[in-house]
A and B are shown apart, each in its own frame.
Chain A
Amino acid sequence: MSGKGCLIPLVILLVVTGLCAISSGFLGAMGGNSGLLHGIGLDPILPSIKLPAEMVVPMGQVGPFKVGLTNTLIATFLADIVLVVLAAAATARIRAGSPDAWVPRGVQNLVEWIVEVLHGLAESVLGKTRARQVFWLGATIFLFVLVANWMELLPGVDSIGILEHPHEPGIAYSRRGALLSLPEIKNEAPKTEVKPTGGEHPEDAQHPEGEEHAYEGWELVPFVRAAATDLNVPLALALISVVMTQVYGFRALGAQYLGRFVATKRLGDGNPMGLIDLAVGALEAISEFAKIISFTFRLFGNIFAGQVLLFVMAAFLIPFLVFGTLVFYGLEVFVGLIQAVVFMMLTFVFIAMATAGHGEEHAEHAEAH
């Protein structure tokens, strides 16, 4: 490796570290209500923590549908764009028909390495033939979840957006130019006067019902918010994973797969123990739905909790510990990777369980009775 090749990642690392430190730690340490940087409006404030995704472009009528754009949807699109560009860059030389494309370099090398590692994991769980069939599913989930999770950590995500008057009671902040700043304003009852000043937030005027009460102060609606902090994204992934598990199970075992959920085989033979089989089959069916729930909330919970953790650390701990958030950034990098790996691995394991025949087991049981 030449010296120049090492230098570029090093510079990038330093710049990123510097940005993280500036955006959260360093300025925060000098902030606070009486801090040095309060004078120029840079305060460590706690962003509003909201469960549903916020609307960046509010609901409007497009034909027969009500359509809006949430910030998590923007994050999903961004993650898609990153992946498509990465795939295009990685396969550019192959598609161009370059004769030395079989010697991977640069991006192609990186992507090939990732795919090889993932494929190795898939093979270790599913075996060679099955891994070839379902690799695309797990790998797509992995890459999407990974990119979406790591996007949360970029400076600017969750911190750049539209300033609005809050629509619910709670804590809001004052505004200093384009920045939110202390002191904080605690809202309990809605302000009667609704008309906002200035023309930079037409959303307020457009709110369809007009029963939305404006509260005192300002809060931030970020343009981009980590995709997995919207319950819809993990739920969609979980549904895809579980439904595809059923598809592969049915494809591999045929009607025998359905027999797992409605186990009438022994009851049909006149064996009273068949009743237990029925109950076990019902439990199997329920556990498929439990899978959806635990897939959804595992990803959602981890990423949402990570987001709140970073918010709280940046707002409260940082005035005392300059580079404190960097530690939690590291933790969130790890959590984002682990959640992607877990989502993929569990998908593979469930498919492996669904496609493995239950026949041998039943034969054994039949002998025992």
Chain B
Amino acid sequence: MDAVTMRQLAAGLAIGLGTLGPGLGIGLLVNGAMQAIGRNPEAAGQIQVNMILGIAFAEAIAIYALVVALLLKFVA
């Protein structure tokens, strides 16, 4: 494989594998939040805000993978 092909493949793998973990994390987060809302619907507003914040933190990890992929694709 030449360098160009390798870089394309690396970019794809970086974002593909890099989003596995955050995907699982966001799934777990929303799972917990939904169960909490189901048990205590009055607290839905508060739970949603915290859920979105938590998702933002989990998502940041995926963003790092995206940055690596973008660097591989456009800069390196």
Chain A interface (Cβ < 8 Å from any Cβ of B): 50-51, 121, 124, 294, 297-298, 301-302, 304-305, 338, 341-342, 345-346, 349
Contact = CB atoms under 8 A, between A and B. Distances in A.
Interface residues of B, number: 15
Contacts of A349: 53
A294 B52 contact: no
Contact of B53 (A297, A305, A345): A345
A51 B75 contact: yes
A346 B56 contact: yes
Given A51-B74, A342-B56, A301 B63 contact: yes
Contacts of A305: 66
B56 A124 contact: no
Q: Mostly helix, strand, loop or mixed at chain B's interface?
A: helix
21 contacts: A50-B74, A51-B75, A124-B46, A294-B63, A297-B60, A297-B63, A297-B66, A298-B59, A301-B63, A301-B66, A301-B67, A301-B70, A305-B66, A338-B52, A341-B52, A342-B52, A342-B53, A345-B49, A345-B52, A346-B53, A346-B56
Contacts of A124: 46, 49
A294 B49 contact: no
Given A297-B64, A298-B60, A121 B49 contact: yes
Interface of B: 46, 49, 52-53, 56, 59-60, 62-64, 66-67, 70, 74-75
A297 B59 CA distance: 10
A50 B52 CA distance: 30
Contacts of A297: 60, 63-64, 66-67
Nearest to A294: B60
